[in-house]
Amino acid sequence: MRPTPEETLIGATALLRSVLDEPGLPTVAAETVTDVLRMLDQAHRVFVDLPPFLAEDNERMRVLLAELIRELPVAELPARQRIHSYLVERTELNPI
């Protein structure tokens, strides 16, 4: 899905940095923009730069889910067949 959360954060940061470069920006506005930039930086660290232990947990979960997806029985219901096909396709894009 585009834009990704990371792309959104990068775009918002770039836009706000360009606002700070504008001549005549009132001090209060510059301070507010600077505060927002700090919050965006924090959001980037929390949501994009995952701590190593979370990356490891996510990888273990991905492996487990991929195994479970492959074991799912194909049901007779068309909706379940579509879901199963989609999950198998996504798993095959990033094999273990």
pLDDT in tens, 14-56: 999 999 999 999 999 999 999 999 999 998 887 777 677 777 8
Measured CA to CA in angstroms, residue 42 lies from 50, 64, 78 at distances of 12, 30, 44
Q: Using DSSP, state whether 20 is helix, strand or coil.
A: helix
- Is the model more confident about 13 or about 74? 13
pLDDT surpasses 70 at 65: yes
**And the tokens for 4?**
């990704």
Q: What is the mean pLDDT of residues 4-22?
A: 91
Element (H, E) at 74: none
Q: What are phi and psi of 21, to 5 degrees?
A: -80, -10
pTM above 0.95, yes or no: no
Average pLDDT over residues 74-85: 72
